[in-house]
Copies of this chain bind each other. A is one copy, B any other.
Amino acid sequence: MINSNNVNALERAGAENEEVVLFHSATISEVNHAIEKAFDIFEAYKTLPTLKRISFLENIAEELSVTGDPLISITSKETSLPQKRLEGERERTINQIRMFVNLLKEGSWINAVIDPAQPNRLPLPKPDIRQMQIPLGVVGVFGASNFPYAFSVAGGDTISALAAGCPVVFKAHSGHPLTSALVGRCILKAARSTGMPEGVFSLLHGAGQEVGTAIVTHTKIKAIAFTGSYLGGKSIFDAAVKRPEPIPVYAEMGSVNPVFVLPGILHNNSRAVAESLADSNALGVGQFCTNPGIIVILKSKDTEQFLEDYALYASNLKGGTMLSERIYHAYTSGIDTLRSHEEVKLIAAGKHDEGLNSAVPHAFKVSGKSFLQNKNLYEEVFGPSATLVVADDSEQLYEIARSFPGQLTASVWAMENDFKEHRELFRVLENKAGRLVLNNVPTGVEVTHAMVHGGPFPATTDSKATSVGSRSIYRFTRPLCYQNFPQELLPDALKDNNPLQIWRHIGGIFTKDGLK
């Protein structure tokens, strides 16, 4: 367990040190200790002035931004991800922290709603009622393997929970333990230097399921965030809802992110569409949650040309080393299953890259009819694999669209005449995904207010949440209302004179004005 007690030991191990550093799995008693400590300081942490919380987060961003090349090279060794990609991801992670800093500074995220009293209302007076969001309590966060920074120790889950006022107990992913420890150290340093209560953040290692189970089932854990596989996320969800007190689980479990290609754009732009999609599919060796794994083409006279364009381009794409041996084996086994499928035809295999666990991009094609009849073809093959489905007609295209389970994203490539003709496709896809994309690739998730990185089950376990963007903070809050409270007992966000100068919803109107 990493907390301020043993940061020094890690310090001695040294970030730049080339030696192997061994981490021990946390014991159950260490897990309990971390959670109890977080629980004990929850009330203190949530009632800190917002400026203190802001300076804590700012400090994490600063600590992260001075980790320099040593962190990048350690993470690259642990994950096989290229340094340049990791530099970008660290930058994105830092920017993500700063987005939450700005969200707290701006302040309206708290959703202050005020309904003033009407003492003369008949038949009964109406009391003064004021609502805002409050933090849930101690949050357990599970790190993902594919984003060692952005969805790991100081990633969006941890930061949005800390921003909301929730202490965090973090379970490091076994794929990058040293990276986790070093980033954890950034958070602990920031916590110490900004005077946060001890226990606001703990990092636990644990290769098996024992540590994770102990976190999920602890009575003082009030919510869980997870990014990873369906099996991992679903088993956490099942454990959490079986607790005597069920708790919310925000598990982002990936999806095949279907792409629909309409005839008009194929006629005008077949090659550019093919290349964009093939690039997106092979990006980062296909290890993104939003990787476009299934591409549905409405049959037209240009379909064959598109398939050729795609196959030609994909055949020249180079593979790369995957995150782990386990992930690589799952990929090759998924590819083998597709290759041996009677109704599926291989149309492209990319170039092999040197190195261990190196995956080769693959593309397959299948008819719409066969696709509809084989539910196993809907399953995600995590990695640079694309299945191109040719739909006979619009009816079949819509039928395919309707047949998908919940997705993180659904994309359409279309010209104006295409979407005029296929409005129904959009109405169907609205019910299927958290994000609809037009003439863009789904990979690349903007960290912004309007982002939804989520979607209906089985893409996530809670379609009402997003795990990216400012609204991800609401996973860790709930509304509370105060009835008939005097000014001095109300939180600043709800006081008459609006001391925080935030946007509020008063009697149905958005305003920064105080109450008269």
A483 and B115 contacting across the interface, CB-CB below 8 Å: no
Chain B residues closer than 8 Å to A451, beta-carbon distance = 115, 129, 131, 481
Which of A1-9, A48-56, A346-354, A438-446 is found at the contact surface with chain B? Answer: A438-446
Report the minimal beta-carbon distance from A236 to chain B, rounded to whole angstroms. 12
Report the minimal beta-carbon distance from A133 to chain B, rounded to whole angstroms. 9
**Contact pick for A115, options B124, B431, B449, CB 8 Å:** B449
Chain B residues closer than 8 Å to A478, beta-carbon distance = 434, 454, 456, 463-464
Q: How large is the interface on A (under 10, 10 to 19, 20 to 34, 35 or more residues)?
A: 35 or more
Q: A457 CA to B478 CA in the complex, in Å?
A: 12
A450 and B510 contacting across the interface, CB-CB below 8 Å: no
How many chain copies? 2
Among residues 472 to 505 in chain A, which have CB atoms less than 8 Å away from a CB atom of chain B?
A: 474, 477-486, 488-489, 503, 505
Q: A483 CA to B440 CA in the complex, in Å?
A: 8
B245 and A457 contacting across the interface, CB-CB below 8 Å: yes
The answer to whether A127 has its CB under 8 Å from any CB of chain B is yes
The answer to whether A227 has its CB under 8 Å from any CB of chain B is no
Q: A433 CA to B437 CA in the complex, in Å?
A: 40
Among residues 368 to 423 in chain A, which have CB atoms less than 8 Å away from a CB atom of chain B?
A: 405-406, 416, 419
B483 and A438 contacting across the interface, CB-CB below 8 Å: yes
Chain B residues closer than 8 Å to A321, beta-carbon distance = none
Among residues 41 to 61 in chain A, which have CB atoms less than 8 Å away from a CB atom of chain B?
A: 42-43, 47
- Give the B-binding residues of A (Cβ under 8 A): 42-43, 47, 88, 102, 106, 108, 113-115, 123-124, 126-127, 129-131, 134, 136-137, 237-238, 241, 245-246, 248, 405-406, 416, 419, 426-428, 430-431, 433-440, 444, 446, 448-452, 454, 456-458, 461-464, 466, 471, 474, 477-486, 488-489, 503, 505, 507-508, 510
Closest 7 CB pairs of A and B: A131-B450, A452-B481, A241-B241, A113-B450, A129-B450, A115-B450, A510-B510
